Chain A
Amino acid sequence: MTDTQTARSSNTSTELPLVDCDVHVEVAKVDVLFPFLHEHWIEHIQQSRFKGPTDTAYPANAPTTARPGSRPSEGPAGSDFALLRSQALDAPSVDRAILNCAYAIDSIHNPDAAVALASAVNDWLIAEWLEKDSRLRASLVVPSQLPELAAREIERVGDHPGFVQVYLPVRAQHPYGSRIFRPMWEAIARHDLVAGIHFGGAPGNPPTPSGWPSYYFEEYADMATVFASQVVSLIVEGVFDQWPNLRVTLIEGGFTWLPAHLWRFDKEWRNLRRTVPWVKRAPSAYIREHLRLTIQPLDAPPTRKQLLEVIDQIGSEELLLYASDYPHLHHVDPLDVLRELPAGLARKIAGENARAWYRL
């Protein structure tokens, strides 16, 4: 492990073929979406106080939000194609990068506005990002709070070859296994997309079972528990039984929490499986088949030995996917971690697992 990561110079690279499973693009301001919005919404935005969804899980100037040197001369980090290309695609050099846009569609209460802005973001992702660099893939965004309308948006753009995933904020109004979400899962499965459950979300309900924490520091550390709850919901509700080919990636939630969670979850399943008879196997078996996790931010133990022990506890080398989480900044640089791992495992995490998972 190393000290808090700093911006990489261009000559720093890795010998491993990398697939970066979490690169962030930002809508600098709502105006950039105007070419993709109906005039009704442009007028609405210009004449009202609604300036697009501004809730964010990334406080503008927090050290975690933008690593040094990642802010373009204008706009937030992750909003400028040329800068992102040089810092996230060229050095270190990646074979593929999956773009995620955390624009808070899920915070928009007006359903028509939520649909319009989701569509605009997806058309913007195609025109301004996917079409500019063949290494890019992206997660399409949906109004996840409105599952039937989310399904419609997946119908509209889900077959675009650049979209490999549907972006779902981990914090939601209901756990994602809820039957409320069935139309959305059905569409994700039909288009053979991955569901990317991602750090953040602005559903209006608190991120902990005890209400709203005071500090971003807490929200950052608590988010892993929301991921854990989503995992429970998806399995207990039988989402993977209903759609046996469904793939879900947990993005930006860490992973060292997983072993303890699975031990408990498997035990509860053994005790209570009669109450959910459609769940035929132990939860850990579903997880190995249907779930992957990105490694950044690494909620890392102090030593490499302990990190390998945690990976041993997870029980599979196929589950972890490299992610830079560019332009966000975390304590540990995942490339340094890859260099410290046994070569075979490092190759899997760096790219092989993602290539197989996303069929890149």
Chain B
Amino acid sequence: MVATQPQRETSVSTRPAFIDCDHHNQWGSPKELFPYLPKRWVEHIETFGLRGPGGGAYPRYLNDRAGAWPPNGRHAGSDPVFVRDTFIEPERCAYAILTPLGGGGSVLNQDLGAAWARAVNDWQIAEWLDFDPRFRASIQLPFEDPPRAVEEIRRLAADKRFVQVQFSGRPHEPMGRRKYWPIYEACAEYGLAVMTHAFGSFGQPITGTGWPSFYLEDHVGPAQAAQANVVSMVAEGVFEQFPTLQFVSAENGFAWLPSVAWRLDSAWHVLKAEVPHLKRLPSEYIQEHVWVCTQPMEEPYRPRQFLTLLEHFGPAVDHILFATDYPHWDADDPDEAFPVDLPAELQQKIYYDNAAKLYGL
């Protein structure tokens, strides 16, 4: 995708209506959320800000995509009317799974983080979910504070328009660690998926070998971070403990998943004595519990290699979810994202059926 995607005037594609599994609704300024915050926290934010771990900034080279900026001057992704009229309707988006960024998980002040997550969720209900029935949402959580995160899940679980909870790309600990299990227990209880979205950290670098120098590196890195979280969720036995739990990776690409499964299986054959809580091959847990959003779509040099890649997924091809990452500069266009023409059945699965099954839509 290029930086300046022209907006299509009419849709001529034959692709199915689709479910967008990574659709960013974003406030332009924290002030837009003040109506949903207690006065105490409004004053706090105005005085001290939303402090998070510093030192991890790689200023985005490109701003949000052309065509996503409302003429009323509001920020891209912040105006539900504009999103509906210029994206949801013309692109035939059947459902958009909302994934705001900065939902409080990485706020250092834990009371503020919990209050902020709650405000973002109430904003999502009032301004998005109540506005259009095609929106579904991700519960924002103070996920480094699991008891408070569970409180927030319980507060919202009856609202079935929330289909999952959202973690950052780099929580403080690998996502399978026991610290987070109370959150997973609540998700299993209420049938919510657990989603990790690229970027955001609790102060750790984007690589396993320190901070890189350039935005380009920060922009390749989420694929590595996501792999470590998949490895952790499998290795810790989360899916043994919560056999109905589903784990979703968003905005991390997807082509790396078969190799992770091969690597884990190879490792398990020689190291299973260390992880006796795993009762099956790691790849089987991945096939049953791990879902991957396509964006940013990997593009092999030769189209046939893309089809080979899909073959390498095996049964996990039913866990590939189409996602645009609207309205970011690198968003995938629903008509042009795939480097090959997919067989019709596969197209239907990836654009729609897989997500419909996961989220009960």
A271 touches B274 (CB 8 A): no
Q: Which of B17-25, B84-92, B172-180, B342-350 contacts its partner?
A: B172-180
B235 touches A213 (CB 8 A): yes
Query: Given A209-B206, A218-B174, is A272 in contact with B61 using a C-beta cutoff of 8 Å?
Result: yes
Q: Per a CB cutoff under 8 Å, which of A4, A217, A237, A329 touches B213?
A: A237
Chain A residues 151-173 with CB under 8 Å of chain B are 170-173
Is A236's CB within 8 Å of the partner chain B?
Answer: yes
B256-281 CB contact bits vs A (8 Å, 1 = yes)?
10111011111111111111000000
B209 touches A215 (CB 8 A): no
Q: Per a CB cutoff under 8 Å, which of A172, A267, A312 touches B209?
A: A172
> What B residues does A172 contact at CB under 8 A?
209-210
Is B152's CB within 8 Å of the partner chain A?
Answer: no
Is B333's CB within 8 Å of the partner chain A?
Answer: no
A214 touches B221 (CB 8 A): no
Is A298's CB within 8 Å of the partner chain B?
Answer: yes
Chain A residue, CB-CB nearest to B222 = A209
Chain B residues with a Cβ closer than 8 Å to the other chain, count: 73
A217-238 CB contact bits vs B (8 Å, 1 = yes)?
1101111111011101100110
A217 touches B169 (CB 8 A): no
B267 touches A221 (CB 8 A): yes
Give chain B nearest CB distance to A315 CB in angstroms.
7
A260 touches B255 (CB 8 A): yes
Query: Given A213-B228, A299-B259, is A174 in contact with B172 using a C-beta cutoff of 8 Å?
Result: no
Chain B residues 241-263 with CB under 8 Å of chain A are 253, 255-256, 258-260, 262-263
B224 touches A313 (CB 8 A): no
Chain A residue, CB-CB nearest to B297 = A267
- 5 A-B pairs with least C-beta separation: A208-B228, A229-B207, A260-B255, A225-B224, A209-B225
> What A residues does B219 contact at CB under 8 A?
268, 272
Q: Per a CB cutoff under 8 Å, which of A3, A179, A222 touches B208?
A: A222
Chain B residue, CB-CB nearest to A274 = B61
CA distance A58 to B213 in the complex (A): 30
Q: Per a CB cutoff under 8 Å, which of A223, A233, A274 touches B217?
A: A233
* Additional 8 contacts, C-beta under 8 A, given A233-B217, A300-B262: A209-B224, A214-B232, A221-B235, A236-B212, A254-B259, A266-B299, A301-B262, A315-B301
CA distance A247 to B170 in the complex (A): 32
Give chain A nearest CB distance to B261 CB in angstroms.
9
> What A residues does B305 contact at CB under 8 A?
259, 309, 312-313
Is B229's CB within 8 Å of the partner chain A?
Answer: yes
Is A257's CB within 8 Å of the partner chain B?
Answer: yes
A271 touches B206 (CB 8 A): no
B1 touches A271 (CB 8 A): yes
CA distance A261 to B231 in the complex (A): 17
Is B325's CB within 8 Å of the partner chain A?
Answer: no
A-B contact pairs, 18 of them (CB 8 A): A62-B271, A208-B208, A209-B204, A210-B172, A210-B174, A210-B229, A222-B228, A229-B209, A232-B217, A236-B212, A256-B262, A260-B223, A260-B259, A260-B298, A272-B215, A272-B216, A272-B219, A313-B309
B253 touches A260 (CB 8 A): yes
Is A205's CB within 8 Å of the partner chain B?
Answer: yes
CA distance A65 to B220 in the complex (A): 32
B272-313 CB contact bits vs A (8 Å, 1 = yes)?
111100000000000000000000101111000100110010
B307-329 CB contact bits vs A (8 Å, 1 = yes)?
01100100000000000000000
> What A residues does B206 contact at CB under 8 A?
209, 229
A276 touches B170 (CB 8 A): no
Query: Given A208-B225, A210-B225, A257-B256, is A331 in contact with B209 using a C-beta cutoff of 8 Å?
Result: no
Q: Per a CB cutoff under 8 Å, which of B61, B173, B231 touches A222?
A: B231
B209 touches A264 (CB 8 A): no
The residue in B174, B265, B309 that gathers the most chain A C-beta atoms within 10 A of its C-beta is B174
CA distance A222 to B175 in the complex (A): 14
